Structure 1
Amino acid sequence: MSTLKEKQLIQAEFKKRMDENELLNCMRCGFCLPTCPTYIESGFQESHSPRGRIALMKAVVDGLIEPDEDFERSLNMCLGCRACEPVCPSGVNYGHLLEEARDIINQNKKHSFSAKLVRNTVFKGLFPYQSRMRTMTSLLSIYQQTGIQKIVQKSGMLKLFPESLTTMEKILPKVPNSKEMRQRPDQLEPLGVKKKKVAFFSGCLMDTMFMKTNDATMKLLQIVGCEIVIPKTQTCCGALHAHSGEKNDAKELAKKNISAFEETDVDYIITNAGGCGAFLIDYDHLLKDDPNWSDRAIAFSKKLKDISSILVELDFHKKELSLPSQIITYQDSCHLRNVMKTTAEPRMLLKAIQGSTYIEMKNAESCCGSAGIYNIVESEMSMKILDTKMVNVKEANAKTIVTANPGCLLQMKLGIEREGLTRNMRAVHIVDLLLEAVGENS
């Protein structure tokens, strides 16, 4: 519980740092309400809507309410999916307001010893260091490949944890071992005529836990004629930090990435994770007040492109793509759709696969409930959203659910497991499916 002094500090910082013009841009029209999963799943509580949260932020700025636990709870309940932004007639940058508000609260409240230990371990001690991410993933590899996982599952020990975490343990991908993660390329030549020179943002989780998907991404880029540079000095994008109230750390990570990619002299910087891409493309906003970095951040952001966009640009969808007969559907990555504005390209690629049938899922644009670590810290709401999503998945009668973000991929696998559909349905990242579809034709 925040003390009176902490509340006063938070209120003062809200007055100083929150963009009042942006807060006033909200006309309270309500166009955002039907797009907000937490508003719908909470039984239409105004405090769990974008409009309601903006009103609460403005009330704190004006001194009309205290930034108490209910206020903080309202902000924490938000997925940060930013589905409200494309439908807002005033163009309110809700995501920027949310990040600033969370950062103010986090930097001016006293955390418990355990919370501080976890935050320091995750945000300062783990994600910024790829070598440590590899070590953590290596331990998971040992757990999976030595039989320990089966022993733990049979022992019943997992029943001590929440159901969502127990199920998540079952659907984690088979991760690479330490040797595989150390043998990463820093440059790859195109297969055939060179059409573009690109840099690949390999990410932290993507280049460890989801390394095979990164490999598939680079293979596809080679197939369409890209020379690929993979900067060794790149680091975590900083999205998790910024969304969790660690904005200064996110800025430092952004600067490291900008420096790493400035040296590449490429046409594009390619991403394959919607959450990472959306935050990377927002570096221009993150560093807008830093005179030494603002122009460099703008130049960086202008080069960002999702893997599906460059594949369409270089006519991958015109190749001979085929799969065994099946129904395929697509679950949008919220940030890929709402921030990077990439919606048509993934669908164009999937519709080009011969032998399969593409079916558009009802409300494919709505969040699946993953949202970074939201499905861990706000498990109850996350599972409500996932249950609603799975109703639409089953209506599509799809065998394959395609996603474009690792968090979405795990969440959809979680939904399949919870519904007992593992024998009849799978979830897969779009690049893995496309590599499967191009097969020997590559």
Structure 2
Amino acid sequence: MTTAKEKQMIQEEFAKRMDENELLNCMRCGFCLPSCPTYIESGFQETHSPRGRIALMKAVVDGIIEPDEDVEKSLNMCLGCRACEPVCPSGVKYGHLLEEARDIINQNKKHSVPVKALRQVVFTGLFPHQSRMRSFINLIGLYQRSGLQKAVRQTGLLRLFPDSMATMEKVLPVIPTLKEMKNRPTQLSAEGKKKKKVAFFSGCLMDTMFMKTNDATIKLLQAVGCEIVIPREQVCCGALHGHSGEKNTAKELAKQNIQAFEALQVDYIITNAGGCSGFLIEYHHLLKDEPEWLERAMTFTSKLKDLSSILIELDFDKRNLKLNSQTVTYQDSCHLRNVMKTYNEPRKLLNSIEGIDFNEMDDADRCCGSAGIYNIVESEMSMQILDYKMEKVKETEAVTIVTSNPGCLLQMKLGIEREGLSEKVRAVHIADLLLEALENSSTS
């Protein structure tokens, strides 16, 4: 329960920190409603729509309502997918408002001891430290390799956990060894003539749990003529912190990343995770109140480019790419599409592969329900959204679902498992599929 004193502090901070011009920019036209998954899945509840949440924020700023549990619930129920922004005729930066509101509530509310401890471990103790991330992910690897995973499944212990978490355990990728995670490259040469020099944002989860996808990304970049630099000093992008009311930590991580990359003489900074990309590209907004960092942040963001974009720029789609005959569909990463504005490039790459019958999914741009840790903290709504997504997948008759973000990848794998389609359908990151096509064409 939020105390009266906490509500007063939150209300004062809303009045002080929320961008009132941005709040007033919302015309309440309702163009955002059909694009909002939580509005639709909640049975068209206005408080679970973008304009409804903006109205709640404005009412708190004006002192019309208290920032009570209902307001917090509405804000927490939001996926943060930002699908409302591209359709907004006024160009409201809803994502910025949401993150500011969540940060104000989190910084002025006393959490229970278990919640406070969990947040401390995750946001402060784990994600900002790549060495700790490797050690943590290695525990999952030991669980997989030691025979414990098999024993746990045989004893039925997983039935004690919520269905979504028990199913998630089945779809986790095979974890590399700790030695493999530690032995990462920092500089690689281009294959053939060098066309570009790029830096690679390797990420925290991507360079541990999804290390093989990072390896595929590196091979693709080399294949199109990129010399690659991977600075060891880089850290977590800060997206999880920024979306969860830990703005100050997100700022510190942003500064570390800017410092890690700014001395490199590179053409681009390449990303392969849509969730990271969407946060990295807005470092200049995150640091807008710090003049000594703003220009440096703008230089950083100006060099960001998604893997699919550079592959198109360097004519990867014009190669003789081949795969065995299969129907493929694509699930957009929300932040890659709505924030990075990258959506045509992945489709162009997929359509360039001989053997692929690309079948566009209805509502491919609607969130899959992963949204960082949303599928854990708001499991019921997440699974509701995923059920709709899997209906649309089945309509395509695809045997391969392609994504551009690790969270989306796990969520689609979860959907495949829940629907009993694991023998027929697979979900893959686009980097892995493109490397598969490249290697297949070179051996055929």
TM-score, normalized by length of structure 2?
A: 0.99
Match of 1:109 in 2: 109
Match of 1:51 in 2: 51
SS in 2 for 1:428: strand
Distance 1:322 1:358 in 2: 13
Match of 2:403 in 1: 403
Distance 2:188 2:173 in 1: 26
Match of 1:72 in 2: 72
SS in 1 for 2:227: strand
- The within-5 A match list for 1:177-256 is 177-256=177-256
Match of 1:7 in 2: 7
SS in 1 for 2:305: strand
CA contact (8 A) 2:322 2:441 kept: no
1:190-229 CA-partner distances (Å, limit 9, x unpaired):
0010000000000000000000000000000000000000
CA apart distance, 1:146 = 1.4
1:142-191 CA-partner distances (Å, limit 9, x unpaired):
11011110100111111111000000000000010111011100000000
CA contact (8 A) 1:198 1:270 kept: yes
Distance 1:94 1:282 in 2: 13
Residue identity matched to 1:159:
R
CA apart distance, 1:353 = 0.5
1:412-435 CA-partner distances (Å, limit 9, x unpaired):
000000000001000000000000
Distance 1:188 1:288 in 2: 34
Distance 1:304 1:25 in 2: 29
Residue identity matched to 2:38:
T
Asked if residue 149 in structure 1 is aligned to residue 145 in structure 2, the reply is: no
Asked if residue 262 in structure 1 is aligned to residue 255 in structure 2, the reply is: no
CA apart distance, 1:440 = 5.0
Distance 1:9 1:136 in 2: 37
Distance 1:261 1:441 in 2: 35
Match of 1:344 in 2: 344
SS in 1 for 2:322: coil
- The within-5 A match list for 1:9-158 is 9-158=9-158
CA apart distance, 1:72 = 0.2
CA apart distance, 1:441 = 4.3
Match of 2:162 in 1: 162
Identity %: 74
Match of 1:391 in 2: 391
CA contact (8 A) 1:141 1:175 kept: yes
Residue identity matched to 1:183:
N
Distance 1:356 1:298 in 2: 39
SS in 2 for 1:414: helix
Deviation beyond 4 Å, 4+ runs, structure 1:
none
- Computed over aligned residues only, the root mean square deviation of the Cα atoms, in angstroms, reads 0.6
1:59-97 CA-partner distances (Å, limit 9, x unpaired):
000000000000000000000000000000000000000
CA apart distance, 1:137 = 1.2
Asked if residue 302 in structure 1 is aligned to residue 290 in structure 2, the reply is: no
Residue identity matched to 1:320:
N
Distance 1:372 1:340 in 2: 17
SS in 2 for 1:292: helix
Residue identity matched to 1:396:
T
In structure 2, runs of 5+ residues without a counterpart are: none
Distance 2:5 2:138 in 1: 44
CA contact (8 A) 1:402 1:430 kept: yes
Distance 2:242 2:70 in 1: 21
CA apart distance, 1:264 = 1.0
Match of 1:378 in 2: 378
1:222-273 CA-partner distances (Å, limit 9, x unpaired):
0000000000000000000010000000000000000000011100000000
Residue identity matched to 1:223:
A
SS in 2 for 1:227: strand
Distance 1:149 1:74 in 2: 37
SS in 2 for 1:242: helix
CA contact (8 A) 1:2 1:109 kept: yes
CA contact (8 A) 2:323 2:441 kept: no
SS in 2 for 1:128: coil
| Change over 3 Å in CA distance of 1:440–1:414 after alignment to 2 | closer
CA apart distance, 1:51 = 0.4
CA contact (8 A) 1:137 1:177 kept: no
Distance 2:433 2:182 in 1: 25
1:130-149 CA-partner distances (Å, limit 9, x unpaired):
00011011111111011110
Residue identity matched to 2:103:
D
Distance 1:55 1:356 in 2: 46
Distance 2:330 2:321 in 1: 17
- What is the total number of aligned residue pairs between the two structures? 442
CA apart distance, 1:28 = 0.1
Distance 1:391 1:429 in 2: 20
CA contact (8 A) 1:32 1:50 kept: yes
Residue identity matched to 2:169:
E
Distance 2:25 2:352 in 1: 41
CA apart distance, 1:11 = 0.1
Match of 1:291 in 2: 291
Distance 2:269 2:356 in 1: 31
Distance 1:152 1:440 in 2: 37
